[in-house]
Amino acid sequence: MKSLSIFLTLAAVAATSAFAQMSQPMVSENTTKISDHVWTIIGFPNIAIVVGSHATLVVDTGLGPKNGATAARVAAKLAPNNSKLFLTTTHFHPEHAAGEPGFPPDTILIRNAVQQQEMEKHGQEMIEMFSQRTPQNKELLAGVVLRPPDVIFDQEATVDLGGVTARLLWFGGAHTKGDELTFVEPDRTLISGDVVQNKTVPNIFGDGGTPASWLAVLDKVAALNAAHILPDHSAPGDGSLVAAEIELISGIRTRALTLKRQGVSSEDAGKQVSAELKTQHPDWPNTNAAGFVKSVYAEVP
């Protein structure tokens, strides 16, 4: 198992816009409707609530039990007569998973096998890491103990919520090894985690996926033909976000490999690509691609 100190170093080197949002408000009770059956609580992260006629699915938990309880309370308000509550998580980081103890004890927790392996290996380390970031985080994560899922699946699990189906999908590694996608039918709404974002530079955390595996995942995502996209750390959008993500990652990867062939160091290439992205996308909140460029250099000998 990698030590906490190694994870802290990796997090510092590959800082993401998600981490930059640590100072933003946590879970509130304000919801936005994304499609016929999907609502979101915009925050850190964006939490999805999928409502059917007899069951509800929540995707991600917020940071710690207090936020998890808020998400569960919102879900109950949206569908007070539903008899079942399901919960799943996009990946193993604490703002996505460590709010689970705040959900009702009969909540059915579902997670893919690869993500669960990451959770067992690094979940408590990540809780400690996030706890050290701010006093607020320390309070929110105090005493959190992660429980095992009720259901573990390999590549796909289908949840019938009544008149709406949620397909929980694992296509391979991207931001992490166990990134999970949720595709809601008939809405054609994709809850995309970190795999598809909006005006956000990609980042591979720790020993997650590779640039090539991320692109392979996106090829499978594109085949879903989503109409609505709900990322976890950026604004919702339409299906065009998938093509934009493919173009962004392919562009960074191609540019980084060109610089590598020219003998430019990984550090200098990261600075150069980041500056070029800033020129191309002046309205983006963060164009630091140093971490992703480093992943490209590590991937290709």
Rounded to two decimals, the pTM is 0.91
On whether residue 94 sits in a domain, the answer given is yes
What is the tally of structural domains in the chain? Answer: 1
Is pLDDT above 90 for 93? Answer: yes
- Determine phi and psi for 169, rounding to 5 degrees: -125, 135
CA distances 236 to 35, 84, 227, 230, Å, are 11, 27, 11, 5
At residue 8 the predicted structure's pLDDT band, cuts being 50, 70 and 90, is very low
Determine the pLDDT at residue 41.
96
pLDDT digits (tens, 9 = 90+) for 155-183: 999 999 999 999 999 999 999 999 999 99
Average pLDDT over residues 87-108: 97
Is 164 inside any structural domain? yes
pLDDT at 26: 66
Q: Is residue 18 part of a domain?
A: yes
| Percentage of the chain exceeding pLDDT 70 | 91
Please report the pLDDT score of residue 7 as a whole number.
34
Q: What is the pLDDT of residue 17?
A: 38
Query: Is pLDDT of 6 > 70?
Result: no
Instruction: Write the pLDDT tens digit of every residue in 221-264.
Output: 999 999 999 999 999 999 999 999 999 999 999 999 999 999 99
The CATH number linked to 148 is 3.60.15.10
Q: How far apart are CA 77 and CA 79, in angstroms?
A: 5
In the prediction, which pLDDT does 251 show? 98
**Per-residue confidence (pLDDT) for residue 28, from 0 to 100:** 79
How distant is the alpha carbon of residue 84 from its chain centre?
24
The answer to which of 27-41, 213-227, 271-285 has the lowest mean pLDDT is 27-41
Identity of residue 131: S
Residue 181 within a domain: yes
pLDDT tens-digit readout, 118-139: 999 999 999 999 999 999 999 9
- Mean pLDDT confidence for 261-277: 98
| pLDDT confidence of residue 5 | 34
* Residue 218 confidence (pLDDT): 98
Mean per-residue pLDDT for 256-281?
98
Domain with 237 in it: 4-241
Residue 213 lies in a domain: yes
Specify the long-range contacts of residues 38-41, CB closer than 8 Å, at least 24 apart.
Answer: 38/184, 38/187, 38/189, 38/191, 38/228, 38/230, 39/74, 39/78, 40/230, 40/236, 41/70, 41/71, 41/74
Q: What is the pLDDT of residue 15?
A: 34
272 lies in a domain? no
pLDDT score recorded for residue 24: 44
- Stretch 93-115: mean pLDDT: 97
Q: Would you say residue 217 lies in a domain?
A: yes
H-helix segments, 132-191: 135-141
Q: Which of 15-24, 110-119, 269-278 has the lowest mean pLDDT?
A: 15-24
Residue 259 lies in a domain: no
